[in-house]
Amino acid sequence: MSISPQTHLNYRPINEEHIQEIMGIELEAYPEPWTMGMFRDEIKNPHSHFHIAYERETLIGYCGFWLLVDDAHITSITVARNHRGKGFGRAQLDHLIVEAKRLGAVKLSLEVRESNANAIKLYSSSGFVPVGRRKGYYSRTREDAILMDYFIEDSPSGGNELE
């Protein structure tokens, strides 16, 4: 299922007031959730481009990346449980690709839990390709991470499909 043409997400840079609200989503979404301190670090980190996503005034989720030279390393794309399966993850990924390109990135990279089939399907269908594996990357579960990259100049329309 995808977002209807009438649906539009609004993005706001993360700030301290958002942390308590997004912690509820974080705790239900991940077996190894970020802490409040990790979100505070995103606010302070000059390389972080982290956004909260709203549909009207309803918090849908959040997403972000670290821009390191010309690589936008995606740190999170998270959708609240009651909003999953509606295309909001793809909308946030598209937002990150546009933002990364606007800021001069030529590549986006990420790690994804090997058991997260929905995320892997989303990334693959958006042009990300697997480039490696990190054995036991997730400390609590010892699960491997799949490394994936997206090259803006190699995208189907030369990186212009989201403009």
Residue-level pLDDT at 4: 43
Residue-level pLDDT at 8: 82
Residue-level pLDDT at 7: 57
CA distance 52 to 105: 21
In a domain, 58, yes or no: yes
In a domain, 160, yes or no: no
Say which CATH number the domain at 133 has: 3.40.630.30
* Helix (H/G/I), strand (E/B), else coil: 85: coil
Give the chain's domain count: 1
In a domain, 32, yes or no: yes
Instruction: Print the domain residue range for 113.
Output: 9-154
Residue-level pLDDT at 31: 87
Count the neighbouring beta carbons within 10 Å of the beta carbon of residue 64: 24
In a domain, 162, yes or no: no
- Provide the β-strand partners of residue 48: 66
The gap between the terminal CA atoms of the chain, to the nearest Å, is 22
Nearest CA-CA partner of 62 in 32, 85, 42, 37: 42
Contacts of 30-38 with C-beta under 8 Å, sequence gap 24+, read 30/78, 31/138, 31/140, 31/141, 32/138, 32/139, 32/140, 32/141, 34/76
Tell me the average pLDDT across 144-151: 96
In a domain, 2, yes or no: no
In a domain, 115, yes or no: yes
Residue-level pLDDT at 154: 60
Q: Model confidence at 137, in pLDDT bands (50, 70, 90)?
A: confident
In a domain, 34, yes or no: yes
The model's pLDDT over 62-114, given as tens digits with 9 standing for 90+, comes to 999 999 999 999 999 999 999 999 999 999 999 999 999 999 999 999 999 99
Residue-level pLDDT at 114: 93
Residue 22 is given by DSSP the state: H
For residue 123, is pLDDT > 90? Answer: yes
Residue-level pLDDT at 159: 43
Contact of 133 with 144, CB cutoff 8 Å? yes
Residue-level pLDDT at 92: 96
Residues marked as catalytic: 111, 123
Q: Model confidence at 47, in pLDDT bands (50, 70, 90)?
A: very high
In a domain, 62, yes or no: yes
CA distance 12 to 38: 18
Tell me the average pLDDT across 22-27: 96
